Amino acid sequence: MKAFCALWLWLLVALPVGFAKERHCIFRVHAQGNPQDTEVFSTAVRAKLSGKDVAIEKIPRISEQDVIAFYPYPAANGTYGALFQLDEHGRIALDTLSIERRGSYLFVFINGRPITELAIDKRVSDGKIYIASGLTAADIESMKKEWRLLGKTKR
């Protein structure tokens, strides 16, 4: 009986790990937070665009799970840029952010690196995020493992 219970427990733990999808690329979009929030909810960073210290929310509003496709291109400065197409959940999250947080910033991190800041100046309801530059060739390769290219069907 003990052996049966041990086998059952092992299957409960091992099977989900064996079927989990390996993540190749981490894509996170954080909103500008309230400066009065504690360190539990936000963290302070220096914004590149304004040069001011701002608080950003620790929990991302949009993640790699919300991306369904992307389109990379070479930028003028030797890096790459990309257009990201979000799924329905990501599209609604971006639309809501663009309405509620107008006049603030979104901070985009890819593979743990800060890539860009996006000023929210108008409503974005199409579910697309445009990164002008700052991506490396390794970033693009990891994205190709994760999402399909825009304009191509998934294999």
1 vs 29, which has greater pLDDT?
Answer: 29
Q: What is the pTM of this model?
A: 0.78
CA angle 59, 136, 25 (to 5 degrees): 40
Q: What is the distance between the alpha carbons of residues 151 and 147, in angstroms, rounded to a whole number?
A: 12
Q: Name residue, tokens 């389109």.
A: 71
The residue ranges of every structural domain in the chain are 21-149
CB distance 64 to 30 below 8 Å:
no
Q: What is the distance between the alpha carbons of residues 143 and 24, in angstroms, rounded to a whole number?
A: 7
96 vs 7, which has greater pLDDT?
Answer: 96
Residues 59-76: what's their mean pLDDT? 95
pLDDT tens-place string over residues 78-134: 999 999 999 999 999 999 999 999 998 999 999 999 999 999 999 999 999 999 999
Whole-number pLDDT of residue 3: 57
50 vs 21, which has greater pLDDT?
Answer: 50
Domain spanning 21-149, CATH class: alpha beta
Q: What is the distance between the alpha carbons of residues 10 and 15, in angstroms, rounded to a whole number?
A: 8
Mean pLDDT of all residues belonging to the chain: 84
